[in-house]
Amino acid sequence: MATSIRSRRIDVRVTDEQDAVIREAAAASGQTVSAFLLSAAEGRARAVLDERRHLMMSDRAFAAFAAALDDPGQRVPALDELLSLPRITHT
């Protein structure tokens, strides 16, 4: 796997207590402070993005969701009008 050069920088200000906790945790895990913070931040960032990319629900909620998708719904005259307008194309 190719490694990429770290050319970007993120600066963070912390309190004395936060600094102490982070340094202690980094040492306990055998990592530098930078490696510890980067690992923790990237892991949390990916988790947040995954939460927004994957829809998780109970079987009951999914059944209701699927039924709603299968329901033909009702026509919305304003939407019909909008969709009947000529398309705008860019050349």
Condensed to tens digits (0 to 9), the pLDDT of residues 48-82 reads 999 888 878 999 999 999 999 999 889 999 999 99
The dihedral through the CA atoms of 20, 21, 24, 29 has a sign that is negative
Token couple for 50? 């995954």
pLDDT reported for residue 54 = 83
Report the chain's mean pLDDT, rounded to a whole number: 92
Q: pLDDT at residue 2 above 80? A: no
Q: What percent of the chain has pLDDT over 70?
A: 97
1 or 60: whose pLDDT is higher?
Answer: 60
Rounded to an integer, what distance in angstroms lies between the CA atom of residue 84 and that of residue 77? 11
The dihedral through the CA atoms of 67, 72, 78, 83 has a sign that is positive
Between vectors from CA 62 to CA 46 and to CA 69, what angle results, nearest 5°?
A: 105
Q: Give the mean model confidence (pLDDT) for residues 35-53.
A: 94
- In eight-state DSSP terms, residue 2 is P
